[in-house]
Amino acid sequence: LETFDAIFGGSAYGKDVTEYSNQVQSAIMEKVSAIPAEDRKKVMILFAYSDATMSTSGKGFFGQSWCDLTGAINVGEGIESLGSAAINMEQVYEWNPDVIIITNFTTAQPEDLYNNTIGSDDWSSVNAVKNKQVYKMPLGIYRSYTPGADTPVTLQWFAKAVYPELFQDMDVEQIAKDYYKDFYGFELTDEQLENMFNPPSEASA
């Protein structure tokens, strides 16, 4: 952000967004820092999923940062891949994640895991599925899994998805509304908010 701001002449916008982002990050990290190690949620990023492939985030991909910033354990952190890493159901069973986050780089939806509608995979014994803690990442200016203009909102969404009790007072939709209005001068409609936080499978295209 600072680099682009310098290229295009500099503005208060870049400084304001950076300050807000830093405040959000600090507040979340401070709140999750009190979570005992044994209570930290095991999170699996489902980057891509179809009847032909399944991949996740290892230590060198963006999923690691989302987990680190929200006090979660990335189940794939032992994988050194810089991009997405191929996995299978046997590995998922071994990890048995508490929470599964599905990116918008795949058409898969939480219902596909709840109902076992992709290939012959059976997700029914996985904790995240049993406890209905499978979430599709929101869609903003771009797919929110990657760092971008929506990152401060995405970080708050991610924190609440992983630790809903800890962040129960956080209204992520109102946060998104205020963020777009304050920093972009754009008023999100209810329909746009619905599409943002419940993105369709077509978003993967």
User: Could you say which DSSP state residue 16 is in?
Assistant: H
Rg over alpha carbons for the chain, rounded to the nearest Å, is 17
What is the model's pLDDT at position 9?
55
pLDDT at 144: 92
| First-residue to last-residue Cα distance in the chain | 26
Residues facing residue 143 across a β-bridge = 139
- For residues 138 and 170, the answer to whether their CB atoms sit within 8 Å is no
Residue with tokens 């701001």: 5
* Residues comprising the chain, all counted: 205
Looking at residue 1, its pLDDT comes to 52
Task: Name the token pair of 127.
Answer: 């904790």
Residue 177: its H or E element: helix 172-184
Mean pLDDT by 10 residues, the chain (205 residues): 56 79 96 97 98 96 97 96 94 98 97 98 98 96 90 97 97 96 92 94 86
Q: Which residues contact 146 (CB under 8 A, 6 or more apart)?
A: 62
Give the relative orientation of helices 151-162 and 62-69 as an angle to the nearest 10 degrees: 70
Question: Would you state the pLDDT for residue 17?
Answer: 85
